[in-house]
Structure 1
Amino acid sequence: MHLLLVEDDKLVAEGLCRSLRQQGYSVEYCASIKSAMQWLENDEIELLVLDLGLPDGDGIDVLKHVKKHRPNLPVVILTARGSIDDKVQGLDLGADDYLAKPFDPAELFARLRVASRRVTHAQSSTINVANVEMDTSAFTVTLDQQPVNLPRKEFMLLKALFENQGRVLSKQQLESKLYEWGEEVGSNTIEVHIHHLRKKLPKDLIKTLRGIGYVVGKR
């Protein structure tokens, strides 16, 4: 799931980005209302973690903007404002949850899972390409209904391809996806994992367009 973190404390943000990527999120980060508004124009953002005390204004304005223009985008407020009145205001304005700092990361992750169910319930978590089925919520892949064991990097790489059926993804785009998920990327990482995936899945499932990239599904 593609998550936007809006947090002006650099140390908190860096730690959260690492932890969220370890949880399987693709994370974008910004530290101001202006940057948040720009990121929220990207329809690929599926979940928002929002601080309220930002250097160029009140994060409540971001929440109001989201609920007006993207009402189905789940929002979890993460802020030092912990009063009952602040919580009531945030929730009344449409936030899915409200967590005051200091917080336990495990509690944040649990609340994010609850908030993200709105997305996964509204949109099926299963993706089918030919006789291969991927469940992005359960992190499973089956071939002819038989389980296929994929390491994390292979799963994430296949997920990126499945979510972009019919669209060619370059090596650089796939490397960027793995990096967003907190994975180390070497010079031949993509080629190696594509090779391993082809051994476990139908060989013609992932097509190579020489000099351009890789694609699954019809094009």
Structure 2
Amino acid sequence: MHVAVLEDDSALREDILIPGLREFGFEARGAGSAGALYRLMLECRFDMIVLDLGLPDESGLSVVAHLRTLFNGLGIVVLTGNLRRSDHVRALSGGADAFLRKPADAEILALTLRNLARRLRPDAPDAPDATAAKPGWRLESDGWCLVAPDSRIVVLTTLERSLMRCLDARRGQAVGREALISALDADACDFDLHRLEMLVHRLRRKAARLSAPEEAPFPLLSSRGMGYLFAG
């Protein structure tokens, strides 16, 4: 998914927002002004725009309205440190899809963008069949999201995605730690086994946030003496 980041603070844009989005699987490019964004959009097609309201050459509210007029299917997420309710109302009424306060957490921003993409493209191939039996946990086809039985999602980092793609390819079977480490790092000899254990722990904890008490837990299971398996 291609995302443009319109933010005039170059350090925030290049050191935090863009790397954070890339870690969660987005193809992100940046612009420091409205004019730079418009030029960038002549070169590339974007699915989402993340923008700040305080820009040097044009009001962010004006940019939102302009983009919405030209691109009805474009996702627009506003980031701002401005706490004025009137700006929130004007941005949302002008065509923004979501409004997040700075500093935006990378995972929350990624979740916002992924959920927005699912709403904008409800007929995507990964949409569950309403007539089918209640599904279990599944990995979306591009590997960047885990989908819970109730269709809520967990966005994955690069390492989490590599882990889950390896496990999903052998769903229901135990995968050895060495094979998982090789999938995570080309130089497996330098990958600490404890990093794998911590990665699994963090992923289970992320998934647990979505699990209702009456539901079965996220089925990433330990296989004694072997490694891990994804029961689905």
Q: TM-score of the superposition, structure 2-length normalised?
A: 0.53
Consecutive unaligned residues of structure 1, counting only runs of 5 or more, are 127-133, 155-219
Q: Which letter does structure 2 place at the counterpart of 1:37?
A: Y
- How many residues matched? 145
**Given that residues 118 and 124 in structure 2 are in contact (C-alpha distance below 8 angstroms), is that contact kept between their aligned partners in structure 1?**
no
**Over 4 Å off, 4+ runs:** 137-141, 146-154
Specify which structure has the higher proportion of strand: 1
The residue that corresponds to 2:141 in the other structure is: 135
Q: Measure, in 1, the Cα distance between the counterparts of 2:120 and 2:184.
A: 22
2:2 maps to 1:2: yes
Q: Measure, in 1, the Cα distance between the counterparts of 2:40 and 2:49.
A: 10
Query: Following TM superposition, by how much is the alpha carbon of 1:122 offset from its aligned partner in structure 2, in angstroms?
Result: 4.5
Query: Following TM superposition, by how much is the alpha carbon of 1:106 offset from its aligned partner in structure 2, in angstroms?
Result: 2.9
Query: Following TM superposition, by how much is the alpha carbon of 1:72 offset from its aligned partner in structure 2, in angstroms?
Result: 0.7
| Matched position secondary structure for 2:74 | coil
The residue that corresponds to 1:124 in the other structure is: 125
The residue that corresponds to 2:197 in the other structure is: none
Query: Following TM superposition, by how much is the alpha carbon of 1:151 offset from its aligned partner in structure 2, in angstroms?
Result: 4.6
**Given that residues 82 and 101 in structure 1 are in contact (C-alpha distance below 8 angstroms), is that contact kept between their aligned partners in structure 2?**
no
Q: Per the alignment, do residues 109 and 38 of structure 1 end up closer, same or farther by CA in structure 2, a change over 3 Å counting?
A: same
The residue that corresponds to 1:100 in the other structure is: 101
The residue that corresponds to 1:57 in the other structure is: 58
Q: Which letter does structure 2 place at the counterpart of 1:113?
A: R
The residue that corresponds to 2:35 in the other structure is: 34
Q: Per the alignment, do residues 59 and 69 of structure 1 end up closer, same or farther by CA in structure 2, a change over 3 Å counting?
A: same
Q: Per the alignment, do residues 102 and 77 of structure 1 end up closer, same or farther by CA in structure 2, a change over 3 Å counting?
A: same
Consecutive unaligned residues of structure 2, counting only runs of 5 or more, are 128-139, 146-160, 172-179, 187-232
Query: Following TM superposition, by how much is the alpha carbon of 1:123 offset from its aligned partner in structure 2, in angstroms?
Result: 4.1
The residue that corresponds to 1:22 in the other structure is: 23
The residue that corresponds to 2:116 in the other structure is: 115
Identity of aligned residues (%): 29
Query: Following TM superposition, by how much is the alpha carbon of 1:125 offset from its aligned partner in structure 2, in angstroms?
Result: 5.2
Query: Following TM superposition, by how much is the alpha carbon of 1:18 offset from its aligned partner in structure 2, in angstroms?
Result: 0.9
Give a deviation string over 1:128-152, Cα, whole Å, max 9, x none: xxxxxx81255787xxxx7699957
